[in-house]
Amino acid sequence: MNIDWLSGPLLQQLNSGVILLNKQLQIIYINPYICRRADIQLETVQGKDIFSVFTDAPQAWLSRKLNSVLSLQSPAFSSWEQRQYLFKLPHLRPVSSANQYMAQNCNMLPLTDPATGEQYVCLLIEDATDAYVYQSQLQQSNLQLQQVNRLDGLTGVLNRNYWQQQLEVEVQRAGRYQHPLSLLFFDLDKFKRLNDDYGHQAGDVVLIEVARLIGSLLRETDLFGRYGGEEFAIILPDTPLEGAIEVAKRICRRVAESPVVFQQQRLMTSVSVGVSQFNTAITADELIQQADLALYQAKRNGRNQVVTYHPGLIDSLKKVKS
Amino acid sequence: MTDLSFTEEQRDCLQELINVAMGLASDKLARFLNTFVHLQVPAIGLVNAAEIPEQFRGQYQGLHSSMISLGFFGDGGLRGETILLYQLENAGKIAALLGYDDDATSEAEMLTDISSILTTTFLNGLAEQLDNSFSYAAPRVISSRDNDFISKLEQTAFHWQLALKVDIRYELTDYSFDCNMILLIPGEAVLKLKTILDNVLADF
């Protein structure tokens, strides 16, 4: 059975793009799939340099690749995952895809005319927009999941798990580059009583509002997390002790002078803050312990104040226990 | 169970065909890359695919490596997959090697580009020697700058019973560049390969 008639209609109706170039990278043939999408006529582009017709194509890279196909007589490939498209062509999902151009997979094949021995390179172009769209959506939801996984559901600050991971990272960085690093631990004063007097909803509102207020006082690089119930912690990278104490005092003052409104009532609240500074002799856990100890001392001293860790605190704590 | 192992004659024959294919590839690559390419005679061994991850664990321990896979199909049931392993130190040299002077080419793209050039040039030569011709799938990045590429290799090697392991070292005058190539051939294709080798031997 003779099937010589097949290739003509197949090229006409093929749901992939076919571009045939000669050794000078001039256009010999383009099938209707490409002509229609690029809005060009085969007769008007035949014999023209491919890059004079598709002016946006990555010329330096693509011509190097096409020349590798010709000189090595080996196929080459381009995948949408590495290069989203070679040619700016529209796709058929203009509504559901945010991306303007068709994502493309391309096979570049060496071909030889059996009659003349003339060598050509053929580009087969497939629409990979669907895969591209699915992958983008997947990445988007992964990103969202990752974010949710890092944040505290109530206050929107970092959750304890992620905050502690970040502390390890920052401690390593500070140790490696000899940068200062400080830590603040703070606790809402008499939070239990607030819950008892006004209800847990009021307590939640106070947590949310205080976290929002403190967040607005911090730099982009500071890492603010919820450590437990009403206990919060802030990593201050590149900050020596004096700077950290200043931030802590500002937090203390602003919280005390900013009442939280809950059901037409103005709830007054305050925080006690413990401050510690990293040095290469201590671990992340010890840094937390020191800030926690200072916080404990701030509570004992009468709340609504800042205490900085110093080794003497350990002795005073021992006295309390005995 | 069918014996997949090669006779000494078959092994020698394959070694010879691979040497010729290497020579062809080295010549083509030298002309394309515009630099003298010295291709060391590769070490060829048939190994159990399951042993490969362990071998590479020893060889690449602690190094960040990139791994690129490229599958191929030939006539007569011959098929397989090549895996190229690069150490990260070499990745930066690839742009210069390929003559890419724009910054728009990502590292992953450079790795797939050089991999398809190295792999298909060699395999085309091998196909020619076997009186066959291969068609190729697009190269895939299996792992990029990854410390844990061994576990990914384990997942890949799992699908193959017997592997023809070809270690190629490319030495280029102007660049110091090397990579390892593994050719994986599944069990039934190994039988086809043995038949093909017997035919080649019969022609001598």
Task: Closest CB to B108: pick one of A72, A74, A82.
Answer: A82
Pick the CATH number of B8-203 from 3.40.1550.10, 3.20.20.70, 2.60.40.10, 3.40.50.300: 3.40.1550.10
Query: Which runs of E-coded beta strand occur in chain A?
Result: 17-22, 27-30, 76-78, 104-112, 119-127, 181-188, 223-228, 231-237, 260-262, 265-267, 271-277, 306-308
Neighbours of A61 (CB within 10 A): 22
User: Does any CB of chain B come closer than 8 Å to the CB of residue A75?
Assistant: yes
ipTM of the predicted assembly exceeds 0.85: no
Given a cut of 60, is residue B8 above it in pLDDT? yes
Structure tokens at B15: 């070694």
Distance of CA A50 to the CA centre of its chain: 38
> What is the model's pLDDT at position A97?
58
Q: CB distance A74–B106 less than 8 Å?
A: no
User: Does any CB of chain B come closer than 8 Å to the CB of residue A83?
Assistant: yes
Instruction: Single out the residue of B164, B169, B175 nearest to residue B126, CA to CA.
Output: B164
Residues in A touching B28 (Cβ below 8 Å): 71-72
Nearest CA in chain B to A73: B121
Given a cut of 90, is residue B194 above it in pLDDT? no
Query: Which runs of E-coded beta strand occur in B88-178?
Result: 134-136, 140-146, 162-167, 170-172
Tell me the C-alpha distance between A268 and B49, whole Å.
70
Residues in A touching B138 (Cβ below 8 Å): 77-79, 105, 107
Q: What percent of chain B has pLDDT over 70?
A: 80
User: Does any CB of chain B come closer than 8 Å to the CB of residue A161?
Assistant: no
Catalytic pick among A126, A220, A230, A286: A230
Question: Pick the residue with more confidence: B32 or B165?
Answer: B32
Q: CB distance B28–A72 less than 8 Å?
A: yes
Rounded average pLDDT over B27-31: 85
Question: Are A112 and A119 in contact, with CB atoms under 8 Å apart?
Answer: yes
Given a cut of 90, is residue B190 above it in pLDDT? no
> What is the model's pLDDT at position B88?
60
Task: Closest CB to A82: pick one of B100, B109, B124.
Answer: B109
- Residue ranges and CATH numbers for the domains of chain A are 4-136 (3.30.450.20), 151-321 (3.30.70.270)
Give the model confidence (pLDDT) of A259-290 as tens digits: 999 999 999 999 999 999 999 889 999 999 99
Tell me the C-alpha distance between A255 and A307, whole Å.
16
Residue to mutate among A56, A59, A68, with most B CBs inside 10 A, is A68
Rounded average pLDDT over A53-59: 93
Catalytic residue check, A170:
no
Given a cut of 60, is residue A322 above it in pLDDT? no
User: Does any CB of chain A come closer than 8 Å to the CB of residue B202?
Assistant: no
Q: What percent of chain A has pLDDT over 90?
A: 78
Q: Where are the alpha helices (DSSP H) in A113-159?
A: 129-150
Q: Quick one: angle between helices A284-300 and A160-177, nearest 10?
A: 110
Give the model confidence (pLDDT) of A204-246 as tens digits: 999 999 999 999 999 999 999 999 999 999 999 999 999 999 9
> What is the model's pLDDT at position A278?
95
> What is the model's pLDDT at position A120?
97
Given a cut of 80, is residue B150 above it in pLDDT? no
Tell me the C-alpha distance between B46 and B189, whole Å.
13
Give the model confidence (pLDDT) of A152-194 as tens digits: 999 999 999 999 999 999 999 999 999 999 999 999 999 999 9
User: Does any CB of chain B come closer than 8 Å to the CB of residue A72?
Assistant: yes
What is the CA angle B101-B107-B110, rounded to 5?
65
Q: What average pLDDT does chain A have?
A: 92
Q: Which residues contact B73 (CB under 8 A, 6 or more apart)?
A: B79, B134, B135
Which range among A108-112, A309-313, B129-133, B158-162 shows the weakest confidence by mean pLDDT? B158-162
pLDDT band for position B97 (50/70/90)? Answer: confident
Nearest CA in chain A to B26: A72
User: Does any CB of chain A come closer than 8 Å to the CB of residue B29?
Assistant: yes
Give the model confidence (pLDDT) of B116-131 as tens digits: 888 898 899 999 988 8
Question: Are A298 and A317 in contact, with CB atoms under 8 Å apart?
Answer: no
Question: Are A65 and A78 in contact, with CB atoms under 8 Å apart?
Answer: yes
Rounded average pLDDT over A285-303: 94
Tell me the C-alpha distance between A166 and A287, whole Å.
13
DSSP string, A9-23: HHHHH-SSEEEEEET
User: Does any CB of chain B come closer than 8 Å to the CB of residue A283?
Assistant: no
Instruction: Single out the residue of A187, A185, A206 nearest to residue A195, CA to CA.
Output: A206
- CB contacts < 8 A (A, B): 58
How are the residues of chain B apportioned to helix, strand and coil, as percentages rounded to the nearest 5?
Answer: 50, 25, 25
Bridge partner list, B165: B45, B182
> What is the model's pLDDT at position B56?
73
Tell me the C-alpha distance between B17 and B200, whole Å.
10
How are the residues of chain A apportioned to helix, strand and coil, as percentages rounded to the nearest 5?
Answer: 45, 20, 30
User: Does any CB of chain A come closer than 8 Å to the CB of residue B113?
Assistant: yes
Structure tokens at B189: 């294709």
Maximum average pLDDT range among A61-75, A110-124, B82-96? A110-124
pLDDT band for position A50 (50/70/90)? Answer: very high
> What is the model's pLDDT at position A321?
57
Rounded average pLDDT over B80-108: 74
Give the model confidence (pLDDT) of B39-93 as tens digits: 776 677 777 777 777 777 777 665 667 888 899 999 888 888 888 887 766 556 7
Question: Are A271 and A304 in contact, with CB atoms under 8 Å apart?
Answer: yes
Buried (b) or exposed (e) across A63-97, using 16+ Cβ within 10 A?
ebbbbbbbebbbbbbbbbbbbbbbbebebeeeeeb
> What is the model's pLDDT at position B2?
60
> What is the model's pLDDT at position A184?
97
Given a cut of 70, is residue A248 above it in pLDDT? yes
Q: CB distance B117–A71 less than 8 Å?
A: no
Residues in A touching B136 (Cβ below 8 Å): 75, 77
To the nearest whole angstrom, how far is the Cα of B132 from the nearest Cα of chain A? 15
Instruction: Single out the residue of B52, B42, B49 nearest to residue B17, CA to CA.
Output: B42
Residue to mutate among A51, A62, A74, with most B CBs inside 10 A, is A74
Listed by start position, the domains of chain B span: 8-203
Tell me the C-alpha distance between B123 and B137, whole Å.
13
Residues in A touching B99 (Cβ below 8 Å): 64
Nearest CA in chain B to A84: B109
pLDDT band for position A124 (50/70/90)? Answer: very high
Give the model confidence (pLDDT) of B46-59 as tens digits: 777 777 777 777 77
> What is the model's pLDDT at position B1?
46
